[in-house]
Amino acid sequence: MPTHPVHAFVALGSNLSDPEAQVSRAFNELNMLPATRLIAHSSLYRSAPWGYSDQPDFINAVAEIETRLEPRQLLEMLLDIEHRFGRVREFLNAPRVLDLDLLLYNGLIHHEHGLTLPHPRMHERAFVLLPLTEIAPECVIPGHGRAADHLAACGGQELQRLPKVDANSEILLQAAG
């Protein structure tokens, strides 16, 4: 366990069973993890499904946490949260109640079975990059550079930021924005 807390970023996504509520509940679950506290979270964003398109749109967000957990411990706890929320892995890119991905962990570049840091495809996905840069505008993806620089390369991946209060004033954001 690290002697000092480290910063990590977690992507959250859902497209089943009231996705907005699932992601909001998951923020609370992250804050309740042992030796961990939620530092910040992005707005919620609606995005088209990735990989398998015959499913509902996703609600996505990113959370920044401070933790003393090791990367593998943190990943196992994220998987446990998914399981408790009812996540079933039927096939690749299937609809899901909750998806939690460990994106970044204290600038670490690491690979072991089932855990790669930074997340291997995060720099290609507007639904990760836009919420990430909302809460950490200067964030650097180890081995890839500034997250904001990769966002411009995600042109065509449209996201819709969901309003925090007024559900009738949705804002359409272009990833290339």
The residues annotated with a catalytic role in the active site are 87, 96, 99, 101
In 3D space, the residue among 139, 8, 136, 140 whose CA is nearest the CA of residue 68 turns out to be 8
Torsions phi, psi of 33, nearest 5?
A: -65, 145
Rounded Cα gap, residues 98 and 88, in angstroms = 9
Helices (H), 34-86: 71-85
Q: Could you give the count of Cα atoms lying within 13 Å of 55 in the half-sphere of its Cβ?
A: 21
In the numeric block, which tokens belong to residue 90? 């039927």
- Using DSSP, state whether 65 is helix, strand or coil: strand
Spatial contact of 151 and 175, defined as CB atoms under 8 Å apart: yes
